[in-house]
Structure 1
Amino acid sequence: FGVPVVLNSNLVDGSLRESAVKNETKILLYEAGEALRFDEFSIRAGMKGILNVLQHLGMTRKVVRSKKKRMPFIANGSQWVRANASGIVHNIVNLGDQITKGQVLAEIGSPYGAIFDSVKATRSGILIGKQNIPLVQEGEAMFHVAYFSEDDEEIAGHIENVQEQLLPENDDS
């Protein structure tokens, strides 16, 4: 497919993946971006991935690439960090950032500027998802952190390179 990070996750009851496994059907599920929003990077990465799969299956002509093919990093698991208070969110980290356990990911405050609480990482890893809505309710999922057995710094650098290649500012076409 060609994405920088692959999350190896368990089946969820009632999900498309569970149904496919029960019916012995091969599927490739691509999840990226924020719910109810279009995200240019996620769209471009998905389109590139679909074309890669079609080429691999011999359904389209193979394009000769001069770039070295990189294998994706496989996440051992992931965890959502949840809001511990309700209020206005000031995010401090970005998608693809390497984070460490205890690092402040966001601050939650009042409309008048007072900070109620800080949202801290519960473990080290790479930020693979986050909510972007400026208001949060206590208990809502805010940050999706993937954790690996490999070096987080190398993975974060790899994700940054992929972002530079796919974002519109760097589009040579």
Structure 2
Amino acid sequence: MTIKAVRGKRDGPTLFVSAAIHGDEINGVEIVRRLLQHRALRSLRGTLVAIPIVNVHGFLNNSRYLPDGRDLNRSFPGSPKSSLAGRVAHSFFNNVVAQCEYGIDLHTGARHRGNLPQIRADLQDERTREMAEAFGAPVLLHAKTRDGSLREVASDQNIPILLYEAGEALRFDEVAIRVGVSGIINVMRQIGMLPPSRVKKPRRQPMVTDQSYWVRARVSGVLRALVPLGAFVKKGAILAVVSDPIGDTSGDTEICAQDEGIVIGRTYLPLVYEGDALFHIAKYKADIDEVLRHYHEFREEFEPDAYDPANHDPSEYDEDPPIAS
């Protein structure tokens, strides 16, 4: 496991940023790479501990899991005498996480499943909520910790930690990457590791919720999704249609929202089976027009400009050109 520590000339907090605890969730790997090149680190106070690939075995094999078939993010705090997952979890937690005062853990959706940029955290903890609001993601989801997760053991040690979810496994998503880098820099400013930005931007109001639900397939067939990530849907709205591949429209089944909210996750597979999770919707009712306005502004800020490789002059760019989707 490769770890890079960047220490500022002046004292300050210690923050760890980790990615690829699930080896196929690779957006975070690119976020950490860009973070380590960011010019703002020249003014760093304290120590940034960057771990671009926690689950090295899974990363090399394009797999979510370790070779022993276990999920590393269900194996904490682990033990030096247990399975491979338990040993990796124990070593990572004790040698890295427990030595830090704050943490940000980077994730994506599963294979063939995309997530809207969002922060999942214990929003009832004041320090964690302040970090979450500073990050700048369009959605903040209060989420309970899961048994054996990194968030659970960090919380037990009173270490505020954010879980950033965005994009899809095994794919780079330029918007998700840009939001992640910007969000980490924002958090570092909020906890005193970086000076305030000279460019004053109005803070956008995120959608904050503690309830979400999955809409599942009622029948098997070919899925035709009708709403994208980030769409606001009302109760009863048609999200998709599951059809017979032969073309008999009399057998079409409409998939509808059970309650109003914003689509924060969806499957990209066209073939679905009865019971499959199709859309993840965060429940939300208040001030939706204001939230949608902020979301559209958010998209405009992070959407990459057109890039022409034929006319690319590296000297004109302060950062890497965008990754094409």
TM over 0.5: yes
CA distance in 1, matches of 2:272, 2:305: 31
Equivalent pair of 1:83/1:136 in contact (CA under 8 Å): yes
Structure 1 residue runs without a partner (length 5+):
none
What's 1:169 paired with?
A: 305
Cα RMSD of the aligned pairs, angstroms, is 2.2
Equivalent pair of 2:260/2:285 in contact (CA under 8 Å): no
What's 2:287 paired with?
A: 151
Equivalent pair of 1:5/1:72 in contact (CA under 8 Å): yes
**Secondary structure of 1:108's aligned partner:** strand
**Secondary structure of 2:164's aligned partner:** coil
Establish whether residue 49 from structure 1 lines up as the match of residue 183 from structure 2.
yes
**Secondary structure of 2:201's aligned partner:** coil
Q: Deviations over 1:134-158 (max 9, x none)?
A: 2212111111111135222322222
Superposed displacement of residue 61, structure 1 = 4.5
Establish whether residue 20 from structure 1 lines up as the match of residue 162 from structure 2.
no
Q: Identify which of 252, 261, 267 aligns with 1:131.
A: 267
TM-score by length of structure 1 reads: 0.88
Q: Which structure has the highest helix share of the two?
A: 2
Q: For 1:79-98, list aligned pairs within 5 A.
A: 79-98=213-232
Establish whether residue 102 from structure 1 lines up as the match of residue 236 from structure 2.
yes
Q: For 1:101-120, list aligned pairs within 5 A.
A: 101-115=235-249, 116-120=252-256
Structure 2 residue runs without a partner (length 5+):
1-134, 308-316, 319-325
Superposed displacement of residue 170, structure 1 = 7.6
Amino acid at match of 2:293: G
Q: Deviations over 1:87-132 (max 9, x none)?
A: 2111100111110111110111122333431111010011111111
Query: Who wins on radius of gyration, i.e. which is larger?
Result: 2
What's 2:44 paired with?
A: none
Aligned residues: 173
Q: Cα–Cα, structure 1 residues 17 and 53, in superposed 2: closer, same or farther, change >3 Å?
A: same
Q: Indicate the percent of aligned positions where both proteins have the same amino acid.
A: 42
Equivalent pair of 1:96/1:160 in contact (CA under 8 Å): no
Q: Identify which of 191, 198, 205 aligns with 1:64.
A: 198
**Secondary structure of 1:46's aligned partner:** helix
